[in-house]
Structure 1
Amino acid sequence: MAKYTREPINGFTHLFGAILSFAGLLILVIKTTLENPSPVALTAVIIFGISLILLYSASATYHLVIAKENTIKFLRKLDHSMIFILIAGSYAPFCLISLNGFKGWILFGVEILIAVLGVSFKLIWFNCPRWVSTLIYVVMGWGAIFLIVPLYKSLSTVGLMLLVGGGVFYTIGAIIYGTKPEFLKLKKLEFHEIFHIFILLGSLCQYLCVLLYVI
């Protein structure tokens, strides 16, 4: 398998994530249409689902495809840029449905702006130190902390635990990515494979939160 793919474990874990994201988007759209058929709610879950699909598809493609160096560099930039898209897209259901007001729209707008700036930043200075990218991802991801009280009122305790739990998984993954800790090296897994697993867990938690407590 390795001769046909560059990084099979990294690639197939996120290919699995992409497939789940397609199915997950369909489920979200059906449930929203049946239970909360407003244009805003439907748009929010579509944005969320598409951001998951884009992240995992870009990541799987980058890690699986064997191609020329310039193509790999382009795919890597796309992979990293999609992280900003996923973070901003993940805010959509919480800001536009759970918060459903001025503060929610403002927070979502700020996240979109940061995502646009982040993608531009990656395209201009792709080889920046890992800690710089990691810090931006983490700060962007935890922006919802400023509206934790209204989110709690909307989501309930378990819903908020899923939202925060997803953030914790994402953050641990980001720290692993940024620091490349040697002690995490296992027989067949290195830091990047473990990083991918934490990202999947973060997405799962927040997806379940949206499915069960937002729509």
Structure 2
Amino acid sequence: MLDFHDPVSSLSHLIMAAWAVVAALILTRLTLGQSPGRRLAIAGYGASMVFLYLASGLFHGLNYENLQTLPVFHGYDQKELFYLFRNIDRSAIFLLIDGSFAPPFVYLLLGRTRVACFAAMGTLTVVGLAALWLLPDLPHAATVGVYFGLGLVGMIPVRSYLRKLGWPGAKWILALAVAFTIGAVCEAANWPVIVPGWFGSHEILHISDMAGTLIHFIFVVRFLVAPNMKRAEPESDHQSATKWADAHSSSEREGVRS
């Protein structure tokens, strides 16, 4: 079913899908013991990574003529299958951007600011998904516009990020924004074409997405999850003495019984 007609795009993102599964499991393990809200945000972020790279790898690698032979796709022609998987791919991009900003919102924002950012991000995501699936053919420029809009919403509370993280942490968010922006600009401009038919603006978008994902994963682990992991408190001398006394008393009682 796979012919890898877009070899760079399909293979790179299928490899990233496998990496994303491992990354999601690592994040899940690291957040054990944290609040349900934080764990939910991390789970959503991990799931959005896996979904995006799997959807994209399949979209760029499937042979749609052979796909028609599967019973589940009976009645679809090649063009319909192409548009179906293209819309799944674009939907996954919306969800990845949304999911990527969920951890910063939960860990770094409070009160109305957090609610407002989640509401704006969720509303734009739902509008983008509805337009993508309900309109006959959403213009590509409009799709890219939603990408930009979601990224902009995520960067609105940048002052809160700076206040909580300082420059050492905020620069990782800036690097993420730069990586995604480079890819989106190249995709919108359909430039450059480095190797016709093999490596052009869309492949640059894919590489930018991968770079942004790796940057964001490091940021989430280093600046959000790790500082909030529960660590065992060292025992005080009093606690150690109490434990020793309890153990000593228990052994004495056992000796008396025997």
What's the secondary structure of 1:64's corresponding residue?
coil
1:93 equivalent in structure 2:
103
**Contact 1:45/1:92, CA 8 A, preserved across alignment:** yes
Instruction: Kindly report which structure 2 residues correspond to 1:175-194, keeping only aligned pairs within 5 A, or say none.
Output: 175-182=185-192, 184-186=193-195, 188-194=198-204
| Per-residue CA distance 1:117-137 (angstroms, 9 max, x = gap) | 101111133633332221221
Inter-partner Cα distance in structure 2 for 1:90 and 1:100 = 18
2:40 equivalent in structure 1:
43
Identical columns (%): 25
Which amino acid is the alignment partner of residue 107 of structure 1?
A: C
**Contact 1:77/1:126, CA 8 A, preserved across alignment:** no
1:61 equivalent in structure 2:
58
Which amino acid is the alignment partner of residue 213 of structure 2?
A: S
Instruction: Kindly report which structure 2 residues correspond to 1:113-128, keeping only aligned pairs within 5 A, or say none.
Output: 113-125=123-135, 127-128=137-138
What's the secondary structure of 2:187's corresponding residue?
helix
Which amino acid is the alignment partner of residue 218 of structure 2?
A: L
| Per-residue CA distance 1:93-148 (angstroms, 9 max, x = gap) | 01111214331132112211211110111113363333222122112112133211
| Per-residue CA distance 1:130-184 (angstroms, 9 max, x = gap) | 32221221121121332111111222312211111111110110111111114x4
1:155 equivalent in structure 2:
165
Give the structure with the larger helix fraction: 1
Q: Which has the larger radius of gyration?
A: 2
Counterpart pick for 2:81 among 51, 71, 74: 71
Inter-partner Cα distance in structure 2 for 1:107 and 1:4 = 41
What's the secondary structure of 1:33's corresponding residue?
coil
**Contact 1:155/1:214, CA 8 A, preserved across alignment:** no
Which amino acid is the alignment partner of residue 8 of structure 1?
A: P
Asked whether 1:103 is paired with 2:113, we answer yes
Structure 2: unaligned runs, 5 residues or longer? 66-77, 226-258
Counterpart pick for 1:166 among 176, 181, 185: 176
Which amino acid is the alignment partner of residue 121 of structure 2?
A: E
| Per-residue CA distance 1:17-47 (angstroms, 9 max, x = gap) | 211111111111111116xx11111111001
Which amino acid is the alignment partner of residue 46 of structure 1?
A: A
What's the secondary structure of 2:60's corresponding residue?
helix
Structure 1: unaligned runs, 5 residues or longer? none
**Contact 2:121/2:154, CA 8 A, preserved across alignment:** no
Counterpart pick for 1:213 among 211, 219, 223: 223
Number of residues of Structure 1 aligned to a counterpart in Structure 2: 210
Structure 1 residue runs of 4+, over 4 Å off?
Answer: none
Inter-partner Cα distance in structure 2 for 1:126 and 1:165 = 36
RMSD: 1.7
Inter-partner Cα distance in structure 1 for 2:190 and 2:156 = 30
TM-score (norm 2): 0.76
What's the secondary structure of 1:189's corresponding residue?
coil
Inter-partner Cα distance in structure 2 for 1:126 and 1:58 = 21
